[in-house]
Amino acid sequence: MSARFTMALHALGMMAWSEARAPGEPLRSEDLARSINTNPVVVRRVLADLRRAGLVSTRRGVGGGVALARPEARITLRMVWEALAAGERAELIGRHPAGPNPACPIGRCVADYLDGVYGKAETALKASFDGITLATVRRELQARLDRAHPPHR
């Protein structure tokens, strides 16, 4: 799983949180990058994948930025995973880069065995991602913010 997935969830979480506080106000990639602590170009590449998948929309020019393209309750973590994996081979766990040594008795069978183990793990992970929406992420983030900074009475 690449850091791009984490960056995408961070950005989408910010968008959902921002939308709940100020509907219709897009976020700039520079603001997202500052929060993620990376370069805006990196964020724009992640956002481009999310835009191609129909998860975010962008507006250029003054007052432009990026916003959710659909309700937060209709975006699952699996959709995000698949949006980022579309253009690259996204393995949950890396395989042998050059393949195991076929002359080794273990090498002849370990790759097939591990592919089965890793396949089951990936299936379980994707199924768990299906059950988590961006609305859930936003609520959890808000709850953590509320606990960290309780309102003054």
Q: Rounded to whole angstroms, how far apart are CA atoms 133 and 130?
A: 8
Domains and CATH numbers, the chain: 3-148 (1.10.10.10)
The tens-digit pLDDT sequence of the chain (153 residues) is: 578 999 999 999 999 999 888 888 889 999 999 999 999 999 999 999 999 999 999 988 887 899 999 999 999 999 999 999 875 666 677 777 788 888 998 988 998 899 899 989 989 999 999 999 999 999 999 999 899 988 776
Q: Name the 3-class secondary structure at 150.
A: coil
pLDDT for res 10? 96
